[in-house]
Amino acid sequence: MSEPMIAIQGLTKRFSTADGRKHLAIDDVNVEVAEGEFVSILGPSGCGKSTLLYMVGGFVAPSAGAITVQGRPVTGPGPDRGPVFQEFALFPWKTVLENVMYGLRQQGVSKAEAEARARALLDMVHLKDFADFYPKELSGGMRQRVAIARTLAYQPQILLMDEPFGALDAHTRTVLQNELLGIWERDRKTVLFVTHGVDEAVFLSDRVVVMTRAPGRIKKVVEIDLPRPRVRAELLVNRRYQEYIVELEQLIEDVHLEAAGA
Amino acid sequence: MKSALRKLGPAASTVLSLGALLVLWEILARLAQIDGFPPATEALVQVPLILGERESLASIGASLWRMFLGGALALCFAVPVGLAMGRNKRIAQALNPVLTAAYPIPKAALMPIIMLWFGVGDLSKVLVIFLGVSLPLIYHSFHGAHAVDEKLLWSAMAMGMKPVARLFKVVLPSALPDVLLGCRVGLAMALIVMISSEMIARQSGAGDLLFNALDMALYGDVYAMIVILAAIGFVLDWVFERVRRRLVHWAESRQDAMVPGGGV
Amino acid sequence: MSASNIFAGERLRGTAASVLPLALILLAWEAVCRAGLVAPTLLPAPSVVLLRWIALLPDPDFLHHVAQTMIRLLSGFAIALAAGVSIGLLASRGGGGLLEPVIRVLAPIPKIALYPAFVLIFGFDHASKIALVVADAVFPILLATFHGARSVEPKLLWSAWAAGASRRATIFTVVLPSALPSILTGCKIALLISCVTVFLAEMISSTDGLGHLLIRSARSFRIVDMFVPLVTISTIGLLLNAALVAVRNRLLVGHGNHR
Ligand SMILES: Nc1ncnc2c1ncn2[C@@H]1O[C@H](COP(=O)(O)OP(=O)(O)O)[C@@H](O)[C@H]1O
Ligand SMILES: [Mg+2]
């Protein structure tokens, strides 16, 4: 088998709290993600999912352990790993088009070419008529589409998505889940997707990593063996899909009970 | 070096940087060799001499007393006005244009006119300080009162509290962080107006001492007076900031808390 | 004039409603003077001041004084802006440990007290007054830049770094634009301070400028001519503030509704 796209070994993160004590947020996490794989990290809020993703992104330094991407150790952010945040994190002073062009311009792509590629991406996320709008003039769903387009623009091999649809209403969320799967089916990027939604994780992923809380450890890894391309209406009546949902809900329930008992 | 300085804590690093500034002054002055720019040491030796002299000490004391009076009067007047403006649209609308037009006028510049009206005595000087302190105080009290949570007022009304009681029992405490911020700015203003009005009127006080030394070409004294006034500014701000933090430790710190002269 | 409202918490409704009280005050003042309740040598009627002001506006001598004041005010403000933004950015990126305590010492000093030193070092001409304006105006801009740059949303920086932007590039493409609303608020304060400072400096020691005009008129007890420079500096302050608000509205199109 070839080298994994992402390899996480013995990853540990401690934060110092305000009163000077150490808080163990992540403890000895080991995960491997293959190229083109869609992996979700599922866990209750506060279990360290974001922290884990930020460390893969190179935004936060681990306390111990190692992360390699295509065999190279992660030392900082790089355009091979594109983040998409729950808060969208668009540049409010730039228009939609300028936001999407940003990465290309920073990498020295000419203005004309950057604009052409940005417009093509906006077309893909159904925002071609909103190129000259400012982020504040868009709805949450549209903003997240812009953020996804901005990240796709510089063609990262890995997408790091931190509850990207968490701030959206239920309907918009399902629409964007479908769109994300559509995009993913096309170029099969490696995706590390953080969520606390069981159905979202099952619907999107090849594998789901379930985490425990305080400290964040891996509780179980569940393979999602469902046919692709996935169609929501078909899955809802699929026995195996229902079993995955029940299994994961049960796991999350256990995590909660353990945390309460501890 | 950087992290070492940070570890020292704010007090030590402040003292250290003060020392660094004095050393820098000393070196620059020795390099420049200008009569009107004596080294720090020459100025600093004059400080105890000036403070030891009964006359100049009394003069500085009188300045500070007038500053205190003007500030206290402004506190009694400006805070209620600002709070009322923040809670009542009518009052805000009525006073807003007047205050807006008054804002860019240097209050100390009114000194010659006020002296025509009230003479050269203390009254004019206190009045000018009062005017200078009032505007930033009104401004910040206004903003504080404006941002008071409506629901607090609704509950007070439901309890049958009268408007004036609401102003002092609900609006004032909620607006306290802003009011105190205004006080800090007002304190800086009071000192500035005090010094500049005395420089303009040239009758008495710290600002007058400073220019007398300048007129007599006593450059060491000029810089010693500057050091004294700078020290007063620094100490007043430091003391007030301690008090402010203690009073509003419950409120989150605000970014503009460090902006000096935030509303001249 | 509602755009240049200092108390810009919210747009006031009708301009008529907001100007009315000011007009009433002026009318009352006018009436008191006309009725002879105060000596005209102590308080001139507003109409008299206004007429004198209008009469003086085309006067080359008066305009020369206005120009001198404007030169000092604007160059002092420009230097303070350049210095304040660069030092503030520098302090927020690493240099903070060294610069912060120095700023803590210098910021609360009443800068006007430094004026005699500036006169001694830079002479009686433009330079000493500009130096005082810079000393007074630089701190609000510097502190606003510092705080604005410090509170940049980290995820914006992360997004930029992940997109391949260098640390240096993000200072100009992320940190500066993020801090812009805060910087402009600092500029607003600094601009008002500049107006006040230049006028005071000219009153204390100068041979020209609006502040000097006031002192000259005061020496010969010409009360109307004492009010004219005050009206002028107030108008200049309001106009500059309105200009700044216009610039701000242009620059901050994308930002949320910042105060
Ligand atoms: N910068 C930080 N400083 C201190 N504690 C932090 C920091 N970031 C996260 N934590 C703590 O680490 C834990 C995990 O946080 P996070 O990764 O945000 O969880 P999740 O994304 O799963 O909700 C939480 O207890 C949180 O309080
Ligand atoms: Mg999270």
Chains that touch A (3 or more CB pairs under 8 A): C
A43 alpha carbon, closest ligand: 1
CA B121 vs CA B18, B71, B124, B128: distances in Å: 37, 17, 6, 12
pLDDT given at position B106? 86
Name the band, by pLDDT with cuts 50, 70 and 90, for residue C258.
very low
CA torsion B91→B92→B93→B95, rounded to 10°?
Answer: 80
Residue B5 sits at the chain C interface (C-beta within 8 Å): yes
Contact criterion met (CB < 8 Å) for C164 and A92: no
Size of interface A-C (CB pairs under 8 A): 79
Contact criterion met (CB < 8 Å) for C159 and A89: yes
Distance in Å, alpha carbon of A175 to nearest chain C alpha carbon: 24
Q: Residue C36: left if φ>0, alpha if ψ -120 to 50, beta else—which one?
A: left
Distance in Å, alpha carbon of C12 to nearest chain B alpha carbon: 7
In ligand 1, which atom is closest to the CA atom of A214? 25
Name the band, by pLDDT with cuts 50, 70 and 90, for residue C16.
low
Count of positions (residues) in chain C:
259
Contact indicator for B78, B134 with CB cutoff of 8 Å: yes
Contact indicator for C2, C18 with CB cutoff of 8 Å: yes
pLDDT given at position A262? 57
The answer to whether residue C7 scores a pLDDT higher than 70 is no
Give the whole-angstrom CA distance, residue C73 versus residue B68.
31
Distance in Å, alpha carbon of A56 to nearest chain C alpha carbon: 11
Element (H, E) at A72: strand A72-73
Best of A50, A60, A218 to mutate for ligand 1, by most ligand atoms within 8 A of CB? A50
Query: Which pair of tokens denotes residue B173?
Result: 């405490």
Could you say which DSSP state residue A68 is in?
A: E
Question: How many CB atoms lie under 10 A from the CB of residue A105?
Answer: 22
Give the whole-angstrom CA distance, residue C191 versus residue C80.
10
B contacts of C42 (beta carbons < 8 Å): 116-117
- Overall average pLDDT of the B204-224 stretch: 87
A6-80+158-261: in CATH 3.40.50.300: yes
Average pLDDT of chain B is 84
For chain B, give the percent of residues with pLDDT over 70: 91
- Overall average pLDDT of the B58-85 stretch: 92
Question: How many CB atoms lie under 10 A from the CB of residue A20?
Answer: 6
Distance in Å, alpha carbon of B37 to nearest chain C alpha carbon: 6
Contact call for B and A: 3+ CB–CB distances under 8 Å:
no
Name the band, by pLDDT with cuts 50, 70 and 90, for residue C259.
very low
Nearest CA in chain A to C155: A89
Give the whole-angstrom CA distance, residue C242 versus residue C192.
12
User: What is the ipTM metric for this complex?
Assistant: 0.91
In ligand 1, which atom is closest to the CA atom of A17? 4
Size of interface B-C (CB pairs under 8 A): 215
Q: Residue A108: left if φ>0, alpha if ψ -120 to 50, beta else—which one?
A: left
CA B159 vs CA B166, B171, C75, C90: distances in Å: 10, 15, 57, 53
Q: Residue C237: left if φ>0, alpha if ψ -120 to 50, beta else—which one?
A: alpha
Contact indicator for A58, A78 with CB cutoff of 8 Å: yes
- Overall average pLDDT of the C222-227 stretch: 92
pLDDT given at position C171? 92
Give the whole-angstrom CA distance, residue B62 versus residue B68.
10
Query: Which pair of tokens denotes residue B178?
Result: 């802003």
Beta-bridge partner residues of A12? A64
Give the whole-angstrom CA distance, residue B1 versus residue B16.
12
Name the band, by pLDDT with cuts 50, 70 and 90, for residue A146.
very high
**Rg, Å, chain B Cα set:** 22
Burial class, B126, CB count within 10 angstroms (exposed 0-12 / middle 13-18 / buried 19+): buried
Contact indicator for B192, C193 with CB cutoff of 8 Å: no
Q: Which of B95, B100, B200 sits opposite C203 (nearest CB)?
A: B200
For chain B, give the percent of residues with pLDDT over 90: 28
Element (H, E) at B115: helix B111-118
In the chain, the amino acid numbered A158 is I
The answer to whether residue B19 scores a pLDDT higher than 50 is yes
The answer to whether residue C88 scores a pLDDT higher than 70 is yes
Q: What is the phi/psi pair of residue C46, to 5°?
A: -60, -35
Residues 123-162 of C with CB under 8 A from A: 153-156, 158-162
In the chain, the amino acid numbered B91 is I
pLDDT given at position B7? 57
Angle between helices B54-87 and B206-215 (to 10 degrees): 130
Q: Which of C189, C197, C234 sits opposite B105 (nearest CB)?
A: C234
pLDDT given at position C8? 47
- CA A88, chain centre distance (Å): 12
The answer to whether residue A98 scores a pLDDT higher than 50 is yes
Give the whole-angstrom CA distance, residue C38 versus residue C44.
9
Name the band, by pLDDT with cuts 50, 70 and 90, for residue A260.
confident
C contacts of B255 (beta carbons < 8 Å): 147-148, 151, 182
Q: Domain segments of chain A: what residues?
A: 6-80+158-261, 88-155
In ligand 1, which atom is closest to the CA atom of A13? 12
* Least confident range of A27-41, A238-252, B68-82, B179-193: B179-193
Angle between helices B206-215 and B172-201 (to 10 degrees): 30
Which of B170, B120, B112, B118 minimizes the C-alpha distance to B145?
B170
Give the whole-angstrom CA distance, residue B53 versus residue B38.
22
Q: Which of A81, A95, A136 sits opposite C162 (nearest CB)?
A: A81
pLDDT given at position C96? 64
Q: For residues A218-229, b (16+ Cβ closer than 10 Å) or e, as one string?
A: bbeebebebeee
pLDDT given at position C95? 64
Nearest CA in chain A to C161: A77
Name the band, by pLDDT with cuts 50, 70 and 90, for residue C59.
very high
Contact criterion met (CB < 8 Å) for B214 and C119: yes
- Of residues B103 and C249, which shows the higher confidence score? C249
In ligand 1, which atom is closest to the CA atom of A47? 22
CA torsion A91→A95→A99→A105, rounded to 10°?
Answer: -120
Contact indicator for B118, C43 with CB cutoff of 8 Å: no
Contact indicator for A214, A259 with CB cutoff of 8 Å: yes
Count of positions (residues) in chain B:
264
Name the band, by pLDDT with cuts 50, 70 and 90, for residue B153.
confident
The answer to whether residue B2 scores a pLDDT higher than 50 is no
- Overall average pLDDT of the C208-222 stretch: 92
The answer to whether residue B69 scores a pLDDT higher than 80 is yes
pLDDT given at position A96? 96
Sequence-distant (6+) residues with CB within 8 A of A218 are A29, A30, A31, A209, A210, A211, A212
Question: How many CB atoms lie under 10 A from the CB of residue B238?
Answer: 13
Q: Whose CA is nearest to atom 1 of ligand 1?
A: A15
Which domains are present in chain B? Answer: 40-247 (1.10.3720.10)
End-to-end Cα distance, chain A: 40
Nearest CA in chain A to C256: A136
pLDDT given at position A150? 95
Which of A198, A205, A191 minimizes the C-alpha distance to A84?
A191
Q: Whose CA is nearest to atom 20 of ligand 1?
A: A46
- Overall average pLDDT of the A65-84 stretch: 92
Sequence-distant (6+) residues with CB within 8 A of B38 are B29, B219, B220, B223
pLDDT given at position A77? 93
Q: Are strands A64-69 and A158-162 parallel, antiparallel or unpaired?
A: unpaired
Residues contacting ligand 1 via CB (< 6 Å): A 15, 23, 25, 43, 45-51
Contact indicator for B104, C29 with CB cutoff of 8 Å: no
Which of C108, C116, C107 minimizes the C-alpha distance to C138?
C107
Could you say which DSSP state residue A74 is in?
A: P
